Structure 1
Amino acid sequence: MNRGLKPSGADALRSPESRHIKQGTPILAVEWTSLPQNFRRIGLSEHSIIQKRGKPLDSLLEGPIYVSTLDLLFVTDIPYGRICSIDSNANWTLVTEYDGEPNGLVWNHITKNIIIIADFKQGILELDPTSRELQIIASRYQGERLKRPNDLVITADGVIYFTDQGMTGLQDPTGRVFRGGFIRRT
């Protein structure tokens, strides 16, 4: 059922920065870099207390995105509220650390200067990787807090879709997918 969403199909999710691998092409994965020791955190965080029943937790890297215009790879560290960048020489930089649990990332290919974050704790955020300014752009829907956003995508024409599953599963099938507003060049 199409509820007025357009465009549809695979074309709706392709961004100008997307790259496609031919079907059936094997991918040879090799370790390129790992979290430097001075970035590593092992301990308790709000995330480890809730998600791991109080057990100490190492850094947990997630949500990688490559931004070709900056020639940087960005990753999240969920339990410690950090976003790091990695340059082409595998040098790591802490971009931001905040009271959150960042998970999914997407580069805003419309404005070409903002990373959108699906944060398990705070909602949907914007991060300017140059100024390192961070702001919440959505934390509620119809007056209720979001369950806990996980991943997101921006379509070629600037529509944001994000998953908001929280702690749902077979025991609580109330996870949902949101279609956010349009992002336009300013």
Structure 2
Amino acid sequence: FDGAAGVLVDDGVIGKLLSGKGGVEYWESKETKTTGSFKVNPAVSRFLIATAKRFDGSFVVDSFSTDGGCYPRNVIVENGLLLVKFGALNLNEYAVKASLNGARALGLKSKGHLSVGADADISILDIQNEKAFATIVEGNVIMLDGQFLGKGTTIICDERGASTLAKRGIKHIVKEEFSLKQITDRFIP
């Protein structure tokens, strides 16, 4: 019951991680046929990897990432802002790792920046509480103070997924084909 493992519970809207006695009871009620989750990435290694830089000042790992599994564990805002508060990154470096470099790696020229030609999707962050306060996409406020106000999503895919998504009427963006230049021309904060 120490929280080393958990089970995923789908409430019909979002998956939630349940651990401790409640997690064990849920797991047993499903005759152990449920998805498990384990804490496998120690904080020390995550800290070192997130902040490590090359001699030229570029990051060893160019952008933050998050678990893309069936349980949403996007902690880019929370953990990234803790790195800023600790002094391991400045706000500019945080923005580069949280937004710009990821967009560049996917070849999404209209994402990750606020300049001419950008989509101007914006997240307003509450630095003191390490959380997103609001998110604006295509001029619409889709999240405000933790409450989702919009619906739907845009999926980033390659050419292989575009036709299937289009047939289903799912909004999508086709990323550029990967090239080595996307890595070698990395942004140095």
Establish whether TM, by shorter chain, passes 0.5: no
Q: Which has the larger radius of gyration?
A: 2
Q: Higher helix share goes to which structure?
A: 2
Q: Higher strand share goes to which structure?
A: 1
